[in-house]
Amino acid sequence: MTGATGLIRLSPPPTFLEASTSIALIALAAALALVFAVRWHRLRRSIRELAAGIASSGDGAMVPPLRRALRNDPELVHLNRAIADTLAEAALARDSERRQRAFQEALLNEIKDAIFILDRNREIHFANAAAKALFPSDQPYRSRAFFEVCRDHRVYDTLELAEDLGSKVSDQITMRVPDGRPDRLREVSILVEAEPLDFGRENGGGGSWILLKDITAQLETEQIRQDFVANASHELRTPLSIISGYLETMDEADTDLNEPVFRRAVATMRKHGQRIVRIVDDMLSISKLESAADLLAREPFDLKETVAETIEQLMPLIEEKSARVTVKAADDRDWTFFGDRFYWDQIFFNLIENALKQNPEPGLKITVRLKEKDGRYLIAVSDDGIGIPAADLPLVFKRFYRVQKHHARDKVKGTGLGLSIVKRAVEAHHGRIEVESRPGLKTVFTISVPVAGPRPSESAAFAAGNESKDADPA
């Protein structure tokens, strides 16, 4: 045949050794592949177990231990330990940060001023308890726009100005806030302070803080001090001017001091000098009552006896007015009271003297009545004089306030501090005083104090808190 081609094997057939070697290599490769497959399977399962353990541990504080079959693998043991240590450290850091945040928020909540911390979008990041009380809301505060909570544009303007200037800005405003009930508001003076936060600004963070402080009581106290200084200066200037005028006249060279006019001048100067002393003494009494460091003396004394001694001291004025003072108190009981006898002398003296001086007509009847009810002494000082107009009743305990302004010029006016001293002395003994009046019929001052008297701590507290009570009710 022509045109046919083919291959002719010239090598000898494979030997048994060569065939065995090939089979061995194939078996070894299969065994290695199987070993690597098993280890890969175990590694994947271990990683899945670690991942599941981390997920099930919540905050990653604990990682479940490896199964016994995997503990012989050093790499897996090392990886498990490293992950556990890292997660434990992260959990400790988070717990520490959480505790620190809770501590800081607790401190801010103890501050009586309203504090807001805002992010760069002016959304609320934190609001303390005082801020929530000042701007109550049923919705959560966090992540809300600040203007949704505080709708006063003046507060918002202060915040904007602080952010524009990049510094602290303050303003004082007057606003109406809830007064215990949602349907009742009261007007308060608020100091608004705002300042940008520089922390985290380089990383796109930042924000601002804003503080709202109620300074109503502070402003009222300052106004009281100013009024007190102005009134005291006026009350002292009048008698001093009279005394100075008489002295200038008497100092002339041709003055005969034995003339009757100058003898009357000496008597007038003596009266006005006594008035100056009385004003100074009354101001010192008020200062002591308003000082928390100057505590009341606590000693037993008889209230009925104190009233009797006060009446005896005022007897010349009582006789001059043709008045009659009656004491009504049970004779079969003990009227011992623990308190400061010095101030109770002033209480009874000022109340009885005030009734005598405010009623120029003769024949005035004054009654001092002592009772005990529910562990408290009820002391009432009443008169049947001209009374106090209703418009003056809220102001009678204010310093230098006088109901009657029509005294004759030859009469020496009172200091205007008597009833203010009475009120503070009663409150310093943990008591209260009220006044009722029907003009032309009856005026009654009623005092209620505990029979046991004030405890030392209460005396200090009342003395410290009384200064702000002199604000004009109007």
| 320 and 424 assigned to the same domain | yes
The mean pLDDT values, 10 residues at a time, for the chain of 474 residues are: 56 65 82 80 70 60 54 65 76 83 82 90 90 87 89 90 90 83 79 84 73 88 75 76 82 74 82 80 72 66 92 90 90 87 89 88 91 91 89 81 51 66 88 90 92 56 45 38
Q: Crossing angle, helix 341-358 and helix 260-289, to 10 degrees?
A: 130
CATH number at residue 199: 3.30.450.20
The CA-atom distances, in angstroms, between 135 and each of 24, 179, 319 are 86, 11, 62
- Domain enclosing residue 253, as ranges: 221-470
| 89 and 182 assigned to the same domain | no
| Number of domains making up the chain | 3
CB-CB neighbours of 311 under 10 Å: 18
In a domain, 18, yes or no: no
Identify the pLDDT of residue 258: 76
Q: Which tokens go with 193?
A: 């302070």
| 457 and 421 assigned to the same domain | yes
| Backbone dihedral angles phi then psi of residue 314, each to the nearest 5 degrees | -90, 5
Instruction: Please identify, among 153, 184, 214, the residue that sits at the C-terminal boundary of a domain.
Output: 214
Identify the pLDDT of residue 351: 92
Task: Read off the pTM.
Answer: 0.50
Instruction: Please identify, among 72, 102, 132, the residue that sits at the C-terminal boundary of a domain.
Output: 102
Do the strands 365-373 and 324-328 form a parallel or antiparallel pair, or are they unpaired? Answer: parallel
Identify the pLDDT of residue 16: 63
In a domain, 362, yes or no: yes
Identify the pLDDT of residue 205: 62
| 48 and 187 assigned to the same domain | no
In a domain, 127, yes or no: yes
Beta-strand ranges (E) seen in 398-441 are 432-438
In a domain, 406, yes or no: yes
| 387 and 457 assigned to the same domain | yes
| 188 and 301 assigned to the same domain | no
Identify the pLDDT of residue 348: 93
User: What does the pLDDT look like over 148-177, one tens digit per residue?
Assistant: 888 888 998 999 999 889 899 999 998 887
In a domain, 403, yes or no: yes
CB-CB neighbours of 467 under 10 Å: 18
| 177 and 314 assigned to the same domain | no
| 237 and 343 assigned to the same domain | yes
Q: DSSP letter string over 359-401?
A: --SS--EEEEEEEEETTEEEEEEEE-SS---TTTGGGTTSTT-
- Tell me the C-alpha distance between 356 and 118, whole Å: 64
In a domain, 356, yes or no: yes
CATH number at residue 314: 3.30.565.10
Instruction: Please identify, among 214, 230, 249, the residue that sits at the C-terminal boundary of a domain.
Output: 214
| 241 and 354 assigned to the same domain | yes
User: What does the pLDDT look like over 302-333, one tens digit per residue?
Assistant: 999 999 999 998 898 899 889 999 999 888 88
- Tell me the C-alpha distance between 161 and 170, whole Å: 10
Q: DSSP letter string over 216-277?
A: HHHHHHHHHHHHHHHHHHHHHHHHHHHHHHHHHHHTSTT--TTSHHHHHHHHHHHHHHHHHH
In a domain, 2, yes or no: no
User: What does the pLDDT look like over 14-54, one tens digit per residue?
Assistant: 666 667 787 888 888 888 888 788 777 777 776 776 666 66
